[in-house]
Structure 1
């Protein structure tokens, strides 16, 4: 990709480059500290209006030492992650935040982890190795791809606002299902109306029975938190409209990489009553997660819904 951009000089320290960073640059560093690994296409979806502007700025941040990149093979896209100075910036922000508010509770203990030493260049290389040699990297990339598609759709929709995406370690704290660690949770606003979701990315590596149990456990926990026995829901004593009226639980969303596995899950849920608070899609049709790509439990395969419609249950 050709560019008029003048190559940037590598910075020797964080102080040398910190004053040159824009608000968008800081947001990119923050994203990579949380999402860990993103491609140039994914970064463009979230932060840029064109591929050329994304390439120019990300290349500059790499040259300055804030970002780094690798690719699994010469046939695949580069994956971008925090470089040494990017890790130093995240550490400096954490130190400043801790000094401003250490989060001391009533018992005199800090609720925030105290930042350790600033990262070294060796730590930065180890950080990159950990990302690329992780057996979970492809799963992480799949989750991040869904997030960036959703963020891009919201950027282009005047009604939908992506308020926040909770990455895996954050999602565990807000998920209604105790003991279950979803791949993500997110809060959306449709025309000002808040909707909350939990997200699972399914590649088919676990038995379908385990996924069915996960869905069942999730619904039991939602019911328990609302003071309803899940058995009463299954027996039809409460419609899903009534469940949603009592409180607005996080709807469980699942994106499958294998359409056949998605259909098998719905067959199992339908056989069990089909009243689960779950909607599914697959990567073959979910380029726009806001669109009519969601198959709600209990619906027919032909009745796909937009994301803002999965809280309504016309078939009950």
Structure 2
């Protein structure tokens, strides 16, 4: 496969598949994915995945980094857009073409981001739901937004992710809050307040999903959640090890776990009436 010249973006096109374009868009939206995550999203065979990622890197569409693992060895490769990937996405969305220096700085900032683990964990949630749809044709992840996309649309909230999940004829929207154990649980529970404000203003009443890193953490979080905003916002918890599509969600105040699609969800009166939107379609309060 030929190497691309700096000015030869069009020459790459014969080598770019529809699957490649989906991957470029995901990385544009969510910044970084590991080899394992890309494998789960798009490939059956890991070796095929590794070969294709190497080819896309040779074309300048992708780039990668990884760190040493504590105790020896290396972490998995973390994949981002390469310079040509940034150029391609800029052209696709009508953005100004980035310079090579800008693309390099973007990757350097991402790789040094102290919240990189948190970002990858949030992305893992969408990866697992998408992988679930590959095994269950009746399921569909209709929307998978990053924190930046949700913040742009809804202004007053900053979830770690937002999505719309459907199985058969049932659909549920959700707000994702990823907990990695670094914040006090009182602060974690207090995140419900901003969702309550949105709901009271006619915005979506989607369940807030607290995805926690351990069962012990989950148990103590429920002690903080008891009675908090229960009349306005539904919330539920599950641990990172679980398949988020399955019956792993424990709603606050409940004694049994339910599937994601079984959680109550309401698009809200303002959204349903298509009200409170500006000329760009951004929801306003």
What TM-score do you get using the length of structure 2 for normalisation? 0.83
SS of residue matched to 2:93: helix
Aligned partner of 1:40 in structure 2 is 35
CA deviation string 1:233-289 (max 9, x = no partner): xxxxxxxxxxxxxxx7211111011332221121122255855500111113x1x21
SS of residue matched to 2:195: helix
CA contact (8 A) 2:156 2:198 kept: no
Deviates more, 1:255-264 or 1:144-153: 255-264
Q: Tell me whether 1:253 sits opposite 2:232 in the alignment.
A: no
Aligned partner of 1:86 in structure 2 is 85
SS of residue matched to 2:141: strand
CA contact (8 A) 1:174 1:185 kept: no
Aligned ranges 1:3-18 → 2 under 5 Å: 8-12=1-5, 13-18=8-13
User: 2:221 is matched with which residue: 265, 278, 292?
Assistant: 265
Structure 2 residues not aligned, in runs of 5+: 266-285
Q: Tell me whether 1:52 sits opposite 2:47 in the alignment.
A: yes
Q: Tell me whether 1:127 sits opposite 2:106 in the alignment.
A: yes
User: 1:310 is matched with which residue: 229, 238, 263?
Assistant: 263
Q: Tell me whether 1:205 sits opposite 2:205 in the alignment.
A: no
Aligned partner of 1:280 in structure 2 is 237
- Taking a change above 3 Å as real, the CA distance of residues 283 and 191 of structure 1, as seen in their structure-2 partners, is same
- Number of matched pairs: 258
User: 1:141 is matched with which residue: 116, 120, 132?
Assistant: 120
CA contact (8 A) 2:170 2:261 kept: no
User: 1:292 is matched with which residue: 244, 247, 256?
Assistant: 247
Bigger relative contact order, structure 1 or 2 (CA pairs below 8 A, ≥6 apart): 2
Q: Tell me whether 1:190 sits opposite 2:167 in the alignment.
A: yes
CA deviation string 1:138-162 (max 9, x = no partner): 1111111111111101221122111
Mapped to 2, the partners of 1:224 and 1:162 lie a distance apart of 26
SS of residue matched to 1:76: coil
Query: Which one has a bigger Cα radius of gyration?
Result: 1
Structure 1 residues not aligned, in runs of 5+: 1-7, 96-114, 227-247
CA deviation string 1:191-244 (max 9, x = no partner): 133211111101122222222221244235324427xxxxxxxxxxxxxxxxxx
Mapped to 1, the partners of 2:157 and 2:230 lie a distance apart of 21
What TM-score do you get using the length of structure 1 for normalisation? 0.76
Aligned partner of 1:165 in structure 2 is 144
Mapped to 2, the partners of 1:271 and 1:289 lie a distance apart of 24
- Taking a change above 3 Å as real, the CA distance of residues 44 and 180 of structure 1, as seen in their structure-2 partners, is same
Mapped to 2, the partners of 1:209 and 1:197 lie a distance apart of 21
